[in-house]
Amino acid sequence: VADGAGASGLIVRLGKDFASSVLGTRSGPVRLAPGAEVEEIDLCDNRLKYRLVSGEGPGIGWVSVSTGGCPLLESLEEMSTEIVTIGG
């Protein structure tokens, strides 16, 4: 989850549609925390179904990939390539 997601993290939904239920508890939504690492299960338009690999948040769900042109998620493969290019 990229820094652009904000300090509170990403809202996670049960289904890919925005009308789908938000995952959470009685006290409020449970968000996918900044810095969390996820595995892609499905990608449909601007929505990603993920499985949590490390970090805090629901174990599985749907999140937005970007909002207003700002990315909310970053690919670890892209980050790795950038690091190699800059350090090389």
Token duo for residue 2 = 């990229």
pLDDT (tens digit, 9 = 90+) per residue, 20-47?
A: 999 999 999 999 999 899 999 999 999 9
pLDDT (tens digit, 9 = 90+) per residue, 45-59?
A: 999 999 999 999 999
Percent of the chain at pLDDT > 70 equals: 83
Spell out the alpha helix ranges (H) of the chain: 76-87
Q: 81 pLDDT exceeds 50?
A: no
